[in-house]
Structure 1
Amino acid sequence: MKRNWAARRAILLIPHRSENPNEAAPPAGYRRILAIVRAADGAIQVRAVGEELGLQVTVRGKLEPLRAKMTKLADRGWLRKRGDGRFTAHSQ
């Protein structure tokens, strides 16, 4: 059986942030994370974002998928990840 590998394309759900970002570009769950971080006074911990989202923050394993999403947003330029592990909104 032959497989058509050309038909399989990776879909980039979280686009890279450009100079004129389209705020509707990330999926709804990611936009909600962005809104929480932007509403915070300064840097925010993943735990605080999890609390705002209604996650069980006392269970460490519940925060790891959220941390991965926030790191992905930082890698694509939507957030900034500080050295202490906290996140801030990208300066406009």
Structure 2
Amino acid sequence: MVDPEVLERIAARRAELDGLEEQLIKQLEQVRAERDELAVAERVLVRMSEQFAGERAAVAPASAQVGGRAVLLVPHRGDSPDETALPGDYRRILAIVRTAGGPVQVRAVGEELGLQVEVRGKLEPLRAKLADRGWLHKRPDGKFTARL
């Protein structure tokens, strides 16, 4: 004959395990729901980062290798009339020329940029950077104005 106390303990343990099973099922459902939400969030983030990367690539200045060194390619104004295609330093030069209120000498732009304007070699690159690519207009007197 089976001891009734043993049967009672078995029934109590079975009830305890049934309760634990219900808790685990609820927990598992919550875990699966959160995992599904994370998968959706991950897909959205990947899609957004790809979109942002595409936008940045369209706006970011291109670079090339010259003599084994990476250099920025400054687009011609006709190729890309949007200033955001220019590197930041070039946009700053344009802003300086525009805020001058009239034709400006390269020396003034160099001073505003914090270059050593006494050293002629420091100003020469400025002369060609934007004027040769159509972003600035070089007047016969050597001063520059921004193109509209």
How high is the TM-score relative to the length of structure 2?
0.48
Q: Which has the higher contact order (CA 8 A, sep 6+)?
A: 1
Q: Which residue, out of 35, 41, 47, partners 2:101? A: 41
- Rg larger for: 2
Runs (5+) with no aligned partner, structure 1: 1-7
Q: Distance in 2 between matches of 1:9 and 1:55?
A: 25
Structure 2 match to 1:87: 144
Query: What is the CA distance between 1:86 and its match in structure 2?
Result: 0.7
Give the structure with the higher percent helix.
2
Q: Which residue, out of 56, 68, 72, partners 2:128? A: 68
Q: Distance in 1 between matches of 2:73 and 2:96?
A: 19
Q: Distance in 2 between matches of 1:20 and 1:56?
A: 31
Q: Distance in 2 between matches of 1:62 and 1:85?
A: 16
User: In 2 relative to 1, CA 62–37 (structure 1 residues): closer, same or farther, beyond 3 Å?
Assistant: same
Q: Distance in 2 between matches of 1:20 and 1:13?
A: 12
Structure 1 match to 2:85: 25
Structure 1 match to 2:119: 59
How high is the TM-score relative to the length of structure 1?
0.73
1:80 alignment partner, SS class: strand
Q: Distance in 2 between matches of 1:19 and 1:59?
A: 33
User: In 2 relative to 1, CA 33–78 (structure 1 residues): closer, same or farther, beyond 3 Å?
Assistant: same
